[in-house]
Chain A
Amino acid sequence: MIRIDNLVKTFGPKRAVDGVSFSVERGEVLGFLGPNGAGKSTTMRMITGFYPPSAGKVTVGGHDVTESPLEAKRLIGYLPENAASYPDMTVRGFLEFCAEMRGMDAPARKKALARVVERCFLESVLDQSIDTLSKGYKHRTCLAQALIHDPEVLVLDEPTDGLDPNQKHEVRNLIRELGKTKAVVFSTHILEEVDAACSRAIIIDRGRIVANGTPGELRALSDVAGAVTLHAQGASEEKLATLGRVEKLNGSFRVYPADKTASAELTRAIVALADHEGWKLDALRTEEGHLDEVFRRITLPDTVKRNG
């Protein structure tokens, strides 16, 4: 549904987005990760037709966003970064307006309004003026706007920003649910969200894609991925060192296999070793890796990496 080809956006001398390519199909939720200023919002603004690309191409549902913007925009529901909405309108008035802008007639608007109000839990504030709402409600009002025309493509820029943990949880569930039938891209800098909602994630740094894969694949890039951690009475570091590099944690040991994918063999070898040596195994687990470690390692500036 969304196809991005070598997208570039320059602001003066600065290349905010620098040759980004990816595609998202229906039924997929793509998480767009990156530190602040990485170019996430700029990319999304090009997808939604707000910024014209400096170079490269975006197509949505087969429509080139630059050449046939109206056709492309009709397919997209967009939650902008700051979740802006008109503060002097009521929630109902605002959503009515957005529905009308999407070309819906009165009966269709009524149905659409009922649907998004239920989805986004806006019932209680429907006739309240938007500037009197709490941040969470403002956010959900803008999210409701993005869903009002039941679009095939959703572009959500930091959809959980500023929400409390319960609301974050609800929004993630909603995204996952929507992702079953739509093509969804959402940006975040909260790593748990990748696991909670994405089928695939891209990490972007200084305008370039630095990693791309399923959450599992990304985690496997982590240093500890594939290592086996054990806690056993009587365990000795020298014996374990015959199986791989050993790291001593307080009270337990972590063994790194030479080959990350060989953690099953390593586990069996450790069990056999413990059995042979008569250690009492209390705990044994295979490390999946940590997203935050991967994220930090590939997005930190080179200088910080060297010193830290």
Chain B
Amino acid sequence: MNLVWTIAKRELGGYFTSPVAYVFLVIFLLLAGFFTFTAGAFFERGEAGLAAFFAWHPWLYLILVPAVGMRLWSEERRAGTIELLLTMPVTTAQAIIGKFLASWLFLALALALTFPVIITANVLGDPDNGVIFTGYVGSLLLAGAYLAISCMTSAMTRNQVVAFILSVVVCLFLILVGFNPVTDLMVRWASPAFIDTVAAFSVMTHFDGFQKGVIDSRDLLFFLSVIGFALFATGAIIRGHRAG
């Protein structure tokens, strides 16, 4: 456990020694603001709540989370530091979890910096802060799921750009199978049972509940399973490279 934290600390420190982290935070906040207030018509809705804010998160994260996660393992492999890291007395699992947690913390920080929207909503109206809270929980889990997938794709290649693209494709798939415009199209040729089954794998389906103020154990389980599965796959991929 100590070693997980040591690895996470190093990784997190790495974000802040370069200007990239700050640039990322600024872009994240600008985009979150733009989507909420302009594209999401926050003021015109005349409702007190952050629905407009959270509704964009699956799309916002689609680009930003892979950008944070793409370097996790690809850079270790490219620079050869993976050899150093994995010949220290740690298990591969500890290393994977440590690096994942660091990036997740970083995303949590980015999310936490959106607190002005809570204040704005509370100043302008009388929102249900419980719903806002579950919305944040859902958003953090969503970011975690995307991040675990980016972690997996970054273990597949030495090239960060390739890792980024692969990650976007997988995450996009997880959005689209439950995205209403897409499921509406599928109705024409697929049975409703099929559509429901496929949609059960979508982050959209499971993200919805959190926005309505409900923390459903199935939704929780879904996100945690995606994270668990993707990190497990990361381990298998890393071991695979070394097995030759």
Contacts and interface: CB of A to CB of B under 8 A. Distances in A.
B84 interface: yes
A52 B83 contact: no
B79 A103 contact: no
A15 to B, nearest CB: 11
A121 B39 CA distance: 58
A84 B6 CA distance: 19
Given A74-B89, A97-B6, A102-B88, A85 B81 contact: yes
B81 A54 contact: no
Interface in A59-95: 70, 73-74, 76, 78, 80-82, 84-89, 93
Nearest to A49: B87
Majority secondary structure, B binding face: helix
Q: Interface size for chain B: under 10, 10 to 19, 20 to 34, or 35 or more residues?
A: 20 to 34
Interface in A32-71: 45, 48-52, 54, 70
Contacts, number: 73
B241 to A, nearest CB: 9
Interface string A247-286: 0000000000000000000000000000000000000000
Contacts of B14: 86, 88-89
Q: Interface size for chain A: under 10, 10 to 19, 20 to 34, or 35 or more residues?
A: 35 or more
Interface string B67-100: 0000000000001110110111111000000000
A198 to B, nearest CB: 23
Interface string A284-297: 00000000000000
B147 to A, nearest CB: 20
19 contacts: A10-B244, A11-B244, A50-B86, A50-B242, A51-B242, A73-B88, A78-B84, A78-B87, A80-B84, A80-B87, A82-B80, A86-B10, A86-B81, A89-B10, A101-B6, A101-B7, A102-B88, A103-B3, A129-B17
